[in-house]
Chains A and B, each alone.
Chain A
Amino acid sequence: MVNGVRKEVYGFTTYDRECGQLFAVEGLIAALIMITAAYLAFGAVIPQSNADMHVSELQLKQMGDDMLYIMDLPDGNAGAGYLESVIYNASPNRGSSANAAAREGFNATFTNYLRKSTGATINQDTLRYSAAIYCVDDSGEVVKLPFVNYGENFGRNPAVCCARYVAADDWGLVGQSSSDTAVRLEVLIWRE
C-alpha cells in the first residue's frame, strides 16, 4: 500500500508492517457496527399497535358494568333494584318454575339493554352474553350456578367479564340452609 513509503523514514521494523493504515477497512467496520446497532436497537422498540384491541374491550366492559349497575339501581327510594328480584327468584330453593321465570326475565331485560340505541349510529345486534351466579354454600365454598346463555362463544371471540354483587334475600342451595346473603352475578359479553 501507499503507506509503505514511510518505512524509509523510520527504522522500526515492526512499524513497517503495522503501518498499513487500512482506513477503508476500519471505516467499513465502523459503518457495519453502526448500521447493525441501529437495526437491532430500533427493531427492539415496541410499536404501539395493540391499543385498538384494548379500547374495544374497554367499551364492552363499560357497557356491561353500566347495564348491571342500572339494573341494580332501585327506581324509587327505599325500593329494591330489578336485579335483586331476579336473584331472589333465581335462588335454587325457590323451585324450578320461579328459576325459569327469573332466567326469562333477566334475558329479556338484558338483551333489550344490549340492543338499545339512540339511533345516531348504526347499532349492530352482534353482542352476546353468558351469565352465571356465584354464591357461597354451607361449607363456605364458592359455587357456580350457570344462569343464562345468549349465544355461544366457542373461544374465538374475546370476551370481557362484568360482575356485580347483588343482595340475595332468603337465598339457599337445594338441601341447604337459606339466609339473607349476597351473591355475585357475572356476565361475559362478547361480539359475535
Chain B
Amino acid sequence: MKKLNDNAEWILLMGLIVSFAIIFLAILLNLSVQTGQTASESVAEFPKSQIRDLRAELTDAAITSENAAEFDAKLDAIRRLALYRDNAVADAYVTYDSFADEKYGYTKLRVHYSNGVTEYDEIILLPKKL
C-alpha cells in the first residue's frame, strides 16, 4: 500500500489549487464591491440635513429665548421628536453670556446629535452686540 502510485494526482491537485484561487479571487471582488457600496451609501445616508436642521432650530431657539428655561422647553420637544421620529439622540446645552469681548457678548451653545451610526458634536458661539 505504501507504494501507491500518485502520479496522476497532481492534476487533481492543480485543479483544486486553481479552484481555491478562484474562490479567493471571488471573495476579494465581493469585498471590494461591498466596501464601494457601503462607502457610497454612507455618503448618501450621512444625516446632513438632519444635523443642519437641528443646528438651525437650536440656534434660533437660543437666540429667541431669553433664558435657559425657555430654551429647555423647546429643546425638550425637539429631543422627544428626534428620539421618536428620527431614532436619534439630540441634545443641547446653552450657556447665556458665556463670555464677552470688546464688541460682542457670546452665548455658547453645545449641540449633540447621534443616530447610532453618525455622531456629531459642535460648540456654536452666538455673538450678540453689546
Q: Direct A–B touching in the complex (beta carbon < 8 Å)?
A: yes
Interface residues of A (CB under 8 A from B): 12, 14-15, 18-19, 21-23, 26-27, 29-31, 33-34, 36-38, 40-42, 44-46, 48, 51, 54, 58, 61, 65, 69, 72, 134-136, 140, 142, 162-167, 179-184, 186
20 A-B residue contacts at CB 8 Å? A14-B3, A21-B5, A33-B16, A33-B19, A34-B18, A40-B23, A41-B25, A44-B26, A48-B37, A54-B40, A54-B41, A54-B44, A61-B49, A69-B49, A135-B77, A135-B81, A162-B49, A164-B53, A181-B77, A183-B81
A183 touches B77 (CB 8 A): yes
Chain-A contact segment, one of B7-15, B102-110, B118-126: B7-15
B80 touches A140 (CB 8 A): yes
Best-buried of B25, B70, B74 by chain A (most CB within 10 Å):
B74
Distance between A149 CB and nearest chain B CB, rounded to angstroms: 19
**DSSP majority for the B interface?**
helix
Closest 5 CB pairs of A and B: A30-B15, A41-B26, A37-B19, A65-B49, A142-B84
Which residue of A is nearest B80, CB measured? A136
B19 touches A34 (CB 8 A): yes
B57 touches A45 (CB 8 A): no
- Given known contacts A21-B5, A167-B64, A46 and B14 CB-to-CB distance under 8 angstroms: no
- On chain A, the residues within 8 Å of B117 by CB distance are none
* 19 additional contacts (CB under 8 A) given A14-B3, A21-B5, A182-B74: A34-B19, A37-B20, A38-B19, A40-B23, A44-B26, A46-B30, A46-B34, A48-B37, A134-B81, A134-B85, A135-B81, A163-B86, A165-B81, A180-B70, A181-B73, A181-B77, A182-B61, A182-B78, A184-B85
Interface string of B66-98 (1 = CB under 8 A from A): 000010011011101100111000000000000
Q: How far is the CA of A21 from the CA of B27 in the complex (A)?
A: 35
- On chain B, the residues within 8 Å of A165 by CB distance are 53-54, 57, 78, 81
Q: Is B4 an interface residue (CB 8 A)?
A: yes
Which residue of A is nearest B14, CB measured? A30
A136 touches B18 (CB 8 A): no
Q: How far is the CA of A33 from the CA of B107 in the complex (A)?
A: 71
A167 touches B15 (CB 8 A): no
- Given known contacts A31-B15, A45-B33, A37 and B22 CB-to-CB distance under 8 angstroms: yes
Which residue of A is nearest B13, CB measured? A30
Q: How far is the CA of A69 from the CA of B8 in the complex (A)?
A: 73
Which residue of B is nearest A55, CB measured? B44
Q: How far is the CA of A20 from the CA of B8 in the complex (A)?
A: 10
Best-buried of A27, A45, A166, A179 by chain B (most CB within 10 Å):
A45
Distance between A16 CB and nearest chain B CB, rounded to angstroms: 11
Distance between A6 CB and nearest chain B CB, rounded to angstroms: 9
- On chain B, the residues within 8 Å of A136 by CB distance are 76-77, 80-81
- Given known contacts A30-B14, A140-B80, A181-B74, A22 and B33 CB-to-CB distance under 8 angstroms: no
Q: Choose among B12, B23, B57, B85 the residue that contacts A182 (Cβ–Cβ < 8 A).
A: B57
